[in-house]
Amino acid sequence: MATRTILTDNDPVLHKVCKPVETFDKRLWQLLDDMADTLKKANGVGLAAPQVGVLRRVFIMDTGDGLKECINPTILERRGVQECTEGCLSSPGEYGIIHRPAVVKLQAQNRHGKFFIVTLEELAAQCADHENDHLDGILFKSKVDRMLSPDEYI
Ligand code: NI
């Protein structure tokens, strides 16, 4: 079990564009394993590599049907729209109302470099879109319709 520190949204690292992963080696697997431990400990549904200070195009998510590791992801298609209440592990205690695609068709590579395509809906589509944004230095707070006040979500 090795967790890493999650950066908060005032950290300039979170506002940078990440580079693609080129080498699918033990160092990447260690990052993925550490990210999984970090996500679990934080009780989150998704975590992107820049949130632990690594500027590479990697995110993981688990919206209830097992852990997905997405390396060099590309969103091939976004369909429909859903209104979501959203937060981010890098913005603890802050939530907002945001519109996300209802369906996301995502291509990515697994930890061995093999390409796969998945179609995600509801929370999984929201999460993939949110995590993919992190890889381009985009935080949910820059896209929200409005932030919620504490009495709206407690
Ligand atoms: Ni986030």
Active site residue 121: no
The pTM is what? 0.97
Cα of 51 vs centre of ligand 1, distance in Å, is 8
Query: Please, are residues 98 and 145 in contact by the beta-carbon 8 Å criterion?
Result: yes
Q: Pairing state of beta strands 96-100 and 82-86?
A: antiparallel
pLDDT at 154 over 70: no
How far is ligand 1, taken at its centre, from the CA of residue 130, in Å? 6
Domain ranges of the chain: 12-148
Separation of 141 CA from ligand 1 center, angstroms?
Answer: 10
> Which of 90, 26, 21, 87 lies closest to 52 in space, CA to CA?
90
Task: Name the amino acid, one letter, at 148.
Answer: L
Q: Would you state the pLDDT for residue 129?
A: 98
**How many whole angstroms from 14 Cα to the centroid of ligand 1?**
10
Q: Of 150 and 105, which is predicted with more confidence? A: 105
Quick one: pLDDT at residue 50?
Answer: 98
What is the whole-number distance in angstroms between the Cα of residue 137 and the centre of ligand 1? 10
In CATH terms, is domain 12-148 a member of 3.90.45.10? yes
Q: How many CB atoms lie within 10 A of CB 85?
A: 13
Question: What pLDDT digit, counting tens, does each position of 65-92 carry?
Answer: 999 999 999 999 999 999 999 999 999 9
Rounded distance from Cα 131 to ligand 1 centre (Å): 6
Q: Which pLDDT does position 150 carry in this prediction?
A: 86
d(CA 55, CA 69): 16
Q: What pLDDT is attached to residue 151?
A: 87
